[in-house]
Amino acid sequence: MNKTLNQKAWYFVIPVFALVAFNAVVPLMTVVNYSFQETFGSNVFQWEGTRWFKEILHSERFHASLGRQFIFTFIILLIQLPLGIAIALTMPKKGWGVPVCLILMSMPLLIPWNVVGAMWNIFALPDIGFLGNSLNSLGFDYNFTQQSGDAWFTTILMDVWHWTSLVVLLSYAGLNSIQPAYYQAAEIDGASRWDVFRYIELPKMKKVLTLAILLRFMDSFMIYTEPFVLTGGGPGNATNFLSLDLVKMALGQFDLGPAAAMSLIYFLIVLLMCWVFYSLMMKDEGRT
Protein backbone atom coordinates (compact mmCIF):
# COMPACT_ATOMS: atom_id res chain seq x y z
CA MET A 1 0.00 0.00 0.00
CA ASN A 2 1.46 3.29 -1.12
CA LYS A 3 -0.47 5.95 0.67
CA THR A 4 0.13 9.48 -0.55
CA LEU A 5 1.01 11.73 2.33
CA ASN A 6 -0.84 14.98 1.94
CA GLN A 7 -1.21 16.70 5.26
CA LYS A 8 -2.22 19.91 3.51
CA ALA A 9 -5.70 18.46 3.19
CA TRP A 10 -6.17 19.32 6.84
CA TYR A 11 -6.33 23.01 5.87
CA PHE A 12 -9.72 22.34 4.36
CA VAL A 13 -11.04 21.46 7.78
CA ILE A 14 -10.12 24.86 9.22
CA PRO A 15 -13.29 26.75 8.12
CA VAL A 16 -15.56 24.11 9.62
CA PHE A 17 -13.45 23.96 12.71
CA ALA A 18 -13.64 27.74 13.11
CA LEU A 19 -17.39 27.74 12.59
CA VAL A 20 -17.99 25.01 15.13
CA ALA A 21 -15.61 26.69 17.52
CA PHE A 22 -17.51 29.95 17.43
CA ASN A 23 -21.03 28.60 17.60
CA ALA A 24 -20.52 25.69 19.97
CA VAL A 25 -17.15 25.32 21.62
CA VAL A 26 -16.53 28.94 22.63
CA PRO A 27 -20.02 29.52 24.17
CA LEU A 28 -19.85 26.16 25.89
CA MET A 29 -16.40 26.90 27.28
CA THR A 30 -17.64 30.29 28.49
CA VAL A 31 -20.33 28.50 30.43
CA VAL A 32 -17.76 26.06 31.78
CA ASN A 33 -15.64 29.06 32.74
CA TYR A 34 -18.51 30.67 34.65
CA SER A 35 -19.43 27.44 36.36
CA PHE A 36 -16.12 27.22 38.24
CA GLN A 37 -15.89 30.89 39.26
CA GLU A 38 -17.73 33.60 41.08
CA THR A 39 -18.18 36.96 39.35
CA PHE A 40 -19.49 40.31 40.53
CA GLY A 41 -19.50 41.96 37.15
CA SER A 42 -16.80 44.23 35.66
CA ASN A 43 -14.80 41.15 34.75
CA VAL A 44 -13.71 40.28 38.25
CA PHE A 45 -13.56 36.54 38.70
CA GLN A 46 -12.79 34.39 41.70
CA TRP A 47 -12.06 30.64 41.51
CA GLU A 48 -14.68 28.52 43.26
CA GLY A 49 -13.82 25.00 42.10
CA THR A 50 -16.73 22.61 42.13
CA ARG A 51 -18.73 24.60 44.68
CA TRP A 52 -21.56 25.55 42.32
CA PHE A 53 -21.95 22.00 41.10
CA LYS A 54 -22.17 20.70 44.65
CA GLU A 55 -24.62 23.42 45.52
CA ILE A 56 -26.85 22.73 42.54
CA LEU A 57 -26.78 18.96 42.97
CA HIS A 58 -27.80 19.36 46.60
CA SER A 59 -30.27 22.17 46.05
CA GLU A 60 -33.89 21.33 46.68
CA ARG A 61 -34.92 23.86 44.10
CA PHE A 62 -33.00 22.00 41.40
CA HIS A 63 -34.37 18.64 42.50
CA ALA A 64 -37.89 20.05 42.38
CA SER A 65 -37.60 21.51 38.90
CA LEU A 66 -35.81 18.42 37.57
CA GLY A 67 -38.54 16.26 39.08
CA ARG A 68 -41.24 18.41 37.52
CA GLN A 69 -39.44 18.15 34.21
CA PHE A 70 -39.31 14.35 34.31
CA ILE A 71 -42.93 14.06 35.41
CA PHE A 72 -44.05 16.41 32.64
CA THR A 73 -42.08 14.55 29.96
CA PHE A 74 -43.29 11.20 31.24
CA ILE A 75 -46.94 12.27 31.23
CA ILE A 76 -46.89 13.77 27.76
CA LEU A 77 -45.11 10.70 26.32
CA LEU A 78 -47.68 8.49 28.01
CA ILE A 79 -50.51 10.45 26.42
CA GLN A 80 -49.05 11.43 23.05
CA LEU A 81 -47.69 8.05 21.94
CA PRO A 82 -50.82 5.92 22.33
CA LEU A 83 -53.03 8.81 21.20
CA GLY A 84 -50.82 9.46 18.16
CA ILE A 85 -50.81 5.79 17.17
CA ALA A 86 -54.56 5.54 17.69
CA ILE A 87 -55.23 8.57 15.50
CA ALA A 88 -52.85 7.28 12.82
CA LEU A 89 -54.68 3.92 12.81
CA THR A 90 -58.03 5.59 12.19
CA MET A 91 -56.77 7.90 9.44
CA PRO A 92 -57.90 6.98 5.91
CA LYS A 93 -55.31 5.34 3.65
CA LYS A 94 -56.63 6.61 0.36
CA GLY A 95 -59.08 9.07 -1.13
CA TRP A 96 -59.78 12.70 -0.44
CA GLY A 97 -59.57 12.16 3.31
CA VAL A 98 -55.80 11.71 3.19
CA PRO A 99 -54.76 15.27 2.29
CA VAL A 100 -57.47 16.70 4.54
CA CYS A 101 -56.23 14.71 7.53
CA LEU A 102 -52.59 15.42 6.80
CA ILE A 103 -53.18 19.17 6.56
CA LEU A 104 -55.28 19.20 9.72
CA MET A 105 -52.60 17.21 11.50
CA SER A 106 -49.72 19.42 10.45
CA MET A 107 -51.46 22.67 11.37
CA PRO A 108 -50.53 22.72 15.08
CA LEU A 109 -46.92 21.97 14.12
CA LEU A 110 -46.75 25.06 11.93
CA ILE A 111 -47.75 27.55 14.64
CA PRO A 112 -44.84 29.39 16.33
CA TRP A 113 -44.32 28.21 19.87
CA ASN A 114 -44.87 31.56 21.57
CA VAL A 115 -48.12 31.97 19.63
CA VAL A 116 -49.21 28.55 20.90
CA GLY A 117 -48.50 29.74 24.45
CA ALA A 118 -50.37 33.02 23.95
CA MET A 119 -53.29 31.24 22.23
CA TRP A 120 -53.73 28.80 25.07
CA ASN A 121 -53.28 31.52 27.65
CA ILE A 122 -56.24 33.43 26.23
CA PHE A 123 -58.19 30.22 25.47
CA ALA A 124 -57.87 29.06 29.08
CA LEU A 125 -58.52 32.34 30.90
CA PRO A 126 -61.19 31.53 33.49
CA ASP A 127 -63.27 34.64 32.86
CA ILE A 128 -63.10 35.34 29.13
CA GLY A 129 -61.33 32.30 27.60
CA PHE A 130 -63.51 29.75 25.84
CA LEU A 131 -62.02 26.75 27.64
CA GLY A 132 -61.79 28.41 31.06
CA ASN A 133 -65.22 29.96 30.86
CA SER A 134 -66.85 26.75 29.61
CA LEU A 135 -65.27 24.64 32.36
CA ASN A 136 -66.40 27.12 35.02
CA SER A 137 -69.92 27.34 33.72
CA LEU A 138 -70.05 23.53 33.71
CA GLY A 139 -69.43 23.70 37.42
CA PHE A 140 -65.69 22.98 37.55
CA ASP A 141 -63.61 25.28 39.66
CA TYR A 142 -60.99 25.99 37.03
CA ASN A 143 -58.34 28.68 37.25
CA PHE A 144 -54.95 27.88 35.81
CA THR A 145 -53.36 31.07 37.05
CA GLN A 146 -54.06 30.20 40.68
CA GLN A 147 -54.45 26.45 41.07
CA SER A 148 -51.40 24.35 40.33
CA GLY A 149 -53.43 21.30 39.26
CA ASP A 150 -55.21 23.39 36.68
CA ALA A 151 -51.92 24.88 35.51
CA TRP A 152 -50.50 21.40 34.94
CA PHE A 153 -53.66 20.27 33.22
CA THR A 154 -53.57 23.25 30.86
CA THR A 155 -49.85 22.91 30.10
CA ILE A 156 -50.20 19.21 29.33
CA LEU A 157 -53.32 19.77 27.25
CA MET A 158 -51.48 22.45 25.30
CA ASP A 159 -48.49 20.22 24.65
CA VAL A 160 -50.71 17.33 23.62
CA TRP A 161 -52.56 19.61 21.22
CA HIS A 162 -49.32 21.01 19.85
CA TRP A 163 -47.23 17.86 19.45
CA THR A 164 -49.42 14.75 19.14
CA SER A 165 -49.56 15.48 15.41
CA LEU A 166 -45.86 14.71 15.13
CA VAL A 167 -46.40 11.22 16.53
CA VAL A 168 -49.45 10.82 14.29
CA LEU A 169 -47.53 11.77 11.14
CA LEU A 170 -44.61 9.49 11.97
CA SER A 171 -46.88 6.55 12.83
CA TYR A 172 -48.96 7.16 9.72
CA ALA A 173 -45.84 7.03 7.57
CA GLY A 174 -44.82 3.81 9.31
CA LEU A 175 -48.24 2.25 8.82
CA ASN A 176 -48.36 3.20 5.16
CA SER A 177 -45.09 1.46 4.47
CA ILE A 178 -46.61 -1.91 5.46
CA GLN A 179 -47.44 -3.88 2.34
CA PRO A 180 -51.09 -4.97 1.99
CA ALA A 181 -49.90 -8.57 1.64
CA TYR A 182 -49.11 -8.60 5.39
CA TYR A 183 -52.74 -7.91 6.22
CA GLN A 184 -53.90 -10.57 3.77
CA ALA A 185 -51.49 -13.13 5.20
CA ALA A 186 -52.82 -12.36 8.68
CA GLU A 187 -56.37 -12.68 7.43
CA ILE A 188 -55.63 -16.10 5.94
CA ASP A 189 -54.05 -17.17 9.24
CA GLY A 190 -57.20 -16.02 10.99
CA ALA A 191 -55.45 -13.42 13.13
CA SER A 192 -57.59 -10.99 15.13
CA ARG A 193 -57.43 -7.19 14.81
CA TRP A 194 -55.36 -7.08 18.00
CA ASP A 195 -52.97 -9.75 16.64
CA VAL A 196 -52.52 -7.69 13.49
CA PHE A 197 -51.69 -4.63 15.57
CA ARG A 198 -49.44 -6.49 17.99
CA TYR A 199 -47.55 -8.73 15.56
CA ILE A 200 -47.53 -6.76 12.31
CA GLU A 201 -48.23 -3.07 12.76
CA LEU A 202 -46.34 -2.45 15.99
CA PRO A 203 -43.13 -4.28 14.96
CA LYS A 204 -43.24 -2.60 11.57
CA MET A 205 -43.63 0.82 13.24
CA LYS A 206 -40.83 0.16 15.71
CA LYS A 207 -38.29 2.37 14.02
CA VAL A 208 -40.52 5.40 13.51
CA LEU A 209 -41.85 5.04 17.04
CA THR A 210 -38.33 5.01 18.49
CA LEU A 211 -37.71 8.17 16.54
CA ALA A 212 -40.97 9.67 17.80
CA ILE A 213 -40.06 8.87 21.42
CA LEU A 214 -36.60 10.36 20.96
CA LEU A 215 -37.92 13.57 19.39
CA ARG A 216 -40.75 14.00 21.85
CA PHE A 217 -38.48 13.28 24.79
CA MET A 218 -35.91 15.85 23.74
CA ASP A 219 -38.42 18.53 22.84
CA SER A 220 -40.50 18.16 25.95
CA PHE A 221 -37.47 17.92 28.21
CA MET A 222 -36.25 21.27 26.92
CA ILE A 223 -39.66 22.92 26.73
CA TYR A 224 -39.47 26.62 27.47
CA THR A 225 -41.42 29.02 25.29
CA GLU A 226 -44.93 27.66 25.67
CA PRO A 227 -45.08 27.35 29.48
CA PHE A 228 -43.17 30.64 29.76
CA VAL A 229 -45.95 32.41 27.87
CA LEU A 230 -48.80 30.34 29.35
CA THR A 231 -47.99 30.18 33.07
CA GLY A 232 -44.55 31.70 33.45
CA GLY A 233 -43.76 28.80 35.76
CA GLY A 234 -46.62 29.59 38.11
CA PRO A 235 -48.69 29.57 40.10
CA GLY A 236 -45.81 29.77 42.57
CA ASN A 237 -43.32 27.23 41.25
CA ALA A 238 -45.92 24.69 40.18
CA THR A 239 -44.96 24.56 36.51
CA ASN A 240 -41.43 25.84 36.94
CA PHE A 241 -39.67 23.40 34.60
CA LEU A 242 -35.92 23.06 34.35
CA SER A 243 -35.39 25.51 31.51
CA LEU A 244 -37.67 28.12 33.07
CA ASP A 245 -35.86 27.78 36.38
CA LEU A 246 -32.50 28.09 34.66
CA VAL A 247 -33.42 31.33 32.93
CA LYS A 248 -34.83 32.73 36.17
CA MET A 249 -31.60 31.95 37.96
CA ALA A 250 -29.34 33.33 35.25
CA LEU A 251 -31.20 36.41 34.12
CA GLY A 252 -33.62 37.07 36.98
CA GLN A 253 -31.21 36.68 39.86
CA PHE A 254 -27.98 37.06 37.88
CA ASP A 255 -26.48 34.06 39.69
CA LEU A 256 -24.19 33.32 36.78
CA GLY A 257 -22.02 30.72 38.51
CA PRO A 258 -24.80 28.40 39.75
CA ALA A 259 -26.76 28.98 36.53
CA ALA A 260 -23.73 27.93 34.50
CA ALA A 261 -23.26 24.82 36.61
CA MET A 262 -26.94 24.01 36.23
CA SER A 263 -26.70 24.49 32.45
CA LEU A 264 -23.89 21.98 32.29
CA ILE A 265 -25.77 19.44 34.38
CA TYR A 266 -28.88 19.97 32.24
CA PHE A 267 -26.76 19.56 29.12
CA LEU A 268 -25.20 16.36 30.42
CA ILE A 269 -28.60 14.89 31.29
CA VAL A 270 -29.87 15.59 27.77
CA LEU A 271 -26.69 14.17 26.30
CA LEU A 272 -26.95 11.05 28.44
CA MET A 273 -30.57 10.44 27.45
CA CYS A 274 -29.65 10.99 23.77
CA TRP A 275 -26.89 8.43 24.09
CA VAL A 276 -29.20 5.91 25.76
CA PHE A 277 -31.80 6.27 23.01
CA TYR A 278 -29.18 6.23 20.29
CA SER A 279 -27.60 3.03 21.55
CA LEU A 280 -31.02 1.43 21.96
CA MET A 281 -31.81 2.27 18.34
CA MET A 282 -28.41 1.16 17.10
CA LYS A 283 -28.66 -2.13 18.98
CA ASP A 284 -31.58 -3.07 16.75
CA GLU A 285 -29.91 -1.66 13.66
CA GLY A 286 -26.85 -3.81 14.25
CA ARG A 287 -28.92 -6.96 14.43
CA THR A 288 -30.41 -6.53 10.98
Partner 1 sequence: MPLFFEAKLQIINMSLELKNVEKKVGIETHIYSTNLKLEKNTINVLLGSTLAGKTTLMQIMAGLDKPTSGEIWFNGENVTGKEVQKRNCSMVYQQFINYPNFTVFENIASPLKITGVKPDEINKRVGKVAELLKLSAMLNKKPDELSGGQQQRTALARALVKDSDLILLDEPLANLDFKLREELREELPKLFEDRDCIVVYATTEPLDALMIGGNTATLLEGNVIQYGKTLDVYSKPENLISAKVFSDPPMNIAEITKSGEIFKLKDNDVQWKSNVKIKDGNYKIGIRPHNITTYKEGNNSVEINGKVLISELSGSESLIHFTNGKLNWVSLSNGIQQKNIGENTKLFMNVDEFLYFDINNRLVTNG
Which residue from 2, 46, 137, 179 is in contact with partner 1, where contact means CB under 8 A? 179
Tally of residues, the chain: 288
Shortest Å, Cβ 188 to partner 1: 5
Query: Which long-range contacts link 67-71 to residues 24+ away (Cβ below 8 Å)?
Result: 68/239, 68/240, 68/241, 68/242, 69/221, 69/241, 69/242
Angle at 149 between CA 148 and CA 154, to 5 degrees: 95
Report d(CA 123, CA 101) in Å as an integer. Answer: 24
6 forms part of the interface with partner 1 (CB under 8 A)? no
Using rule CB under 8 A, residue 95 touches partner 1: no
Rounded to whole angstroms, the Cα distance separating 60 from 252 reads: 18
Q: Any contact of residue 190 with partner 1 (CB under 8 A)?
A: yes
Candidates 23, 33, 177, 184: give the one binding partner 1 (CB under 8 A).
Answer: 184
Coil, helix or strand at residue 37: strand
Min CB(180)–partner 1 separation in Å: 9
Backbone angles phi, psi at 276, to 5 degrees: -60, -50
Alpha-carbon 56 to chain mean position: 23
Q: How many residues bind partner 1 (CB under 8 A)?
A: 16
**In a 10 Å sphere around its CB, with 0-12 CB exposed, 13-18 middle and 19+ buried, how is residue 14 labelled?**
exposed
- List binders of partner 1 among 103-162 (CB under 8 A): none
What is the smallest separation between the CB atom of 191 and partner 1, expressed in angstroms? 7
User: Which of 63, 93, 97, 189: binder of partner 1 (CB under 8 A)?
Assistant: 189
Residue 204 is a binding residue for partner 1 (CB under 8 A): yes
Query: Alpha-carbon distance 9 to 7, whole Å?
Result: 5
Nearer to partner 1, 8 or 287 (CB): 287
The CB-of-175 to partner 1 minimum distance in angstroms stands at 14
Q: Does 288 bind partner 1 (CB under 8 A)?
A: yes
Nearer to partner 1, 98 or 178 (CB): 178
51 is a contact residue toward partner 1 (CB under 8 A):
no
Asked if 177 is part of the footprint of partner 1 (rule: CB under 8 A), the reply reads no
Of the candidates 87, 92, 82, 69, the one whose C-alpha atom is nearest the C-alpha of residue 212 is 82
Binding to partner 1 by residue 287, rule CB under 8 A? yes
Find the part of the chain contacting partner 1 (CB under 8 A) among 14-22, 68-76, 197-205, 225-233: 197-205
Positions in the binding site for partner 1 (CB under 8 A): 179, 181-182, 184-185, 187-191, 199-200, 203-204, 287-288
